[in-house]
Every structure is written in structure tokens, then in C-alpha cells.
């Protein structure tokens, strides 16, 4: 699945990172607790979250994630967008709730990453 | 063991949005040095958790990162309240973080367990009312 496919599946809006839309993603992680995200180490390329602050971008950066989806219509602010741009991380926002957003991506073949 | 690079950071307590800048800088530098990406990620996560902890519990402090050919050592020092019970603090899910930190996505009691998980050695020297020094080593 590409980031572009995620936009279609989640009826998402692109906030920033247009140039990376063709990137392939292999697994995803849905969480509001950033330390839980940091407890996973393998190949998580997409983060779905209802949390909307700069530490979400930092966490994705530390985990080498390439795309963040903000659920329930949350919109990142200018500082977050600048940080994401500098780290080449795509930001998307969807009106779907967390459970539905994760379910839709799962249904289309995206899975969770390994937990080691 | 020949030292390749020594980095020093002052961690400010004032702005939680800036927490993680030091870890981000270390990550970038290690990448530029051509260090194995898996090692880079382990260092980045362990240090980031430590950095966040310093902001949450100790109002900032100092971080020193010593890089040599075989390992990366991170020394995190603060003048915070100290850790009364280290065994308890190491338990997954145990947290003394205030509620406002939880709304920021931290304070799930995973900080120290994650730091231990991603480093090859973790040493904690703490004294109540004086401060805490955490030393982590990640081998190349």
C-alpha cells in the first residue's frame, strides 16, 4: 500500500508531504500513548493517533515512521507541520475515528508490525 | 577505546514541545556518520525517553553523548527530586507523572522500561533531593 492509497481508503486530507505520496508502507500502529509507540521497534511506517502535539512528530521521527494520520479531524499546527516537513514525514488527517480508521486500513491489507 | 565524538546538550524545562531536540540531533549525527540504522534507532528511542523523563520529572538537565568505535554512551544528569524506589520505577505501567503529562501522550510508565529495552546497559544513580544520573550504553 502507498501513502496515496491510505488517503483514498481513509478519505483523508493531505496536510503536508505531497512529494512522498508514492512511498510504500508495510505496517501501521494506532496509539495515543507515545511511549507505547516507542515500545515497538520493527518496521512501523504509519502512525494513527488522536493525539495532536509536537511529540507525535518526534516519536514518529525516532521510530523512522514516514506517515502520521490524525484521526477524528484533528489538525496539526504550523510548528508541527514545519517539524514534519524537516523530517520528511507525511501528515494526513481523517474524519474517521481511531477504531474505524485502523479497521479500514486493516481491511485493505495493512498490518501491525512485529513486536521485538 | 578511542573516542570519535563527544556531544553535550542542555535540556530546558520550559517548553515541552522542544523536548526531543537533543535526541533528534544525535540521531541525525549518527546517521551522517554511517552508523547501522538499527543502532541509531535504539539510541534515539532510549535517549528520547530519557530526555522526556528529564523534562517531566526533573525540570531539565544535561545530556552528554560519547561516541566511540564500539559503543555509544549517553549520560543524562538532572537536579530533580530523585527516584525513591528504582525497582518500582522500572515496572512497566508504573508512573508518577502528573495528569497533564498524560494528555501529552506520556506518563504511561513505559519510559524506564523502554530505556532498558533499547540499551545494552542502563545504570541509575539517584539521590533524593539531589538528582539522578542515568548512564546508558548501546553497542555498535
CA–CA distance from B73 to each of A84, B37, B45, B77, B117 (Å)?
28, 17, 14, 13, 15
Buried b (16+ CB within 10 A) or exposed e, B21-32: bbbbebbeebee
Q: pTM (2 decimals)? A: 0.92
Closest B-chain CA to A56: B105
List pLDDT tens digits, range B47-67.
Answer: 999 999 999 899 899 999 999
- Contact between A74 and A93 (Cβ < 8 Å): yes
A34 forms beta bridges with none
Cross-chain residue pair B110–A54, CB shorter than 8 Å: no
What local confidence, expressed as pLDDT, does residue A68 receive? 98
User: What is the maximal distance between C-alpha atoms in chain B?
Assistant: 44
Distance CA A56, CA A7 (A): 19
Q: Of B17, B24, B111, which has the smallest distance from its Cβ to A79's Cβ?
A: B17
What mean pLDDT, rounded, does chain B reach?
93
A114: left (phi over 0), alpha (psi -120 to 50) or beta: beta
Residue in A36, A62, A66 to test binding to B, most B beta-carbons within 10 Å: A62
Cross-chain residue pair A51–B105, CB shorter than 8 Å: yes
What local confidence, expressed as pLDDT, does residue A41 receive? 63
List CB contacts of B74: < 8 A, sequence separation 6 or more.
B43, B46, B47, B50, B63, B64, B65, B119, B134, B135, B136, B137, B138
What local confidence, expressed as pLDDT, does residue B104 receive? 84
Q: Determine what percent of chain B is predicted with pLDDT higher than 90.
A: 77
List pLDDT tens digits, range A21-44.
Answer: 999 999 999 999 998 899 876 677
Q: Which residue has the higher pLDDT, A73 or A42?
A: A73
Q: Which of B84, B104, B73 is nearest to B3 (CA)?
A: B73
Q: Which residue has the higher pLDDT, B1 or B38?
A: B38
Please determine, for residue B15, whether its predicted confidence score (pLDDT) is greater than 80: no
List pLDDT tens digits, range B81-126.
Answer: 999 999 999 999 899 888 888 888 888 888 999 999 999 999 999 9
Amino acid at each position: 500500500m502507498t501513502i496515496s492509497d491510505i488517503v483514498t481508503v481513509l478519505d483523508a486530507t493531505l496536510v503536508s508531504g505531497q512529494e512522498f505520496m508514492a512511498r510504500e508502507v508495510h505496517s501501521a500502529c494506532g496509539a495515543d500513548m507515545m511511549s507505547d509507540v516507542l515500545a515497538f521497534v520493527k518496521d512501523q511506517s504509519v502512525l494513527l493517533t488522536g493525539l495532536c502535539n509536537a511529540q507525535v512528530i518526534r516519536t514518529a521521527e525516532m521510530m523512522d515512521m514516514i506517515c502520521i494520520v490524525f484521526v477524528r479531524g484533528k489538525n496539526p499546527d504550523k510548528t508541527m507541520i514545519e517539524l514534519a516537513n524537516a523530517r520528511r514525514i507525511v501528515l494526513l488527517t481523517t474524519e474517521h475515528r481511531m477504531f474505524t480508521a485502523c479497521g479500514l486500513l486493516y481491511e485493505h491489507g495493512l498490518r501491525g508490525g512485529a513486536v521485538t | 577505546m578511542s573516542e570519535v565524538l563527544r556531544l553535550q546538550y542542555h535540556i530546558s524545562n520550559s517548553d515541552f514541545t522542544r523536548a526531543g531536540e537533543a535526541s533528534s540531533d544525535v540521531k541525525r549525527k549518527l546517521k551522517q556518520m554511517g552508523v547501522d540504522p538499527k543502532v541509531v534507532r535504539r539510541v534515539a528511542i532510549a535517549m528520547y525517553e530519557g530526555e522526556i523523563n528529564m523534562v517531566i520529572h526533573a525540570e531539565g538537565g544535561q545530556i552528554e553523548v560519547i561516541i566511540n568505535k564500539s559503543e555509544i554512551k549517553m549520560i543524562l544528569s538532572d537536579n530533580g527530586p530523585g527516584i525513591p524506589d528504582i525497582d518500582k520505577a522500572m515496572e512497566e505501567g508504573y508512573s508518577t507523572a502528573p495528569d497533564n503529562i498524560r494528555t501529552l501522550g506520556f506518563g504511561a510508565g513505559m519510559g524506564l522500561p523502554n530505556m532498558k529495552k533499547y540499551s545494552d546497559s542502563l545504570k541509575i544513580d539517584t539521590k533524593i533531593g539531589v538528582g539522578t544520573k542515568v548512564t546508558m550504553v548501546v553497542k555498535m
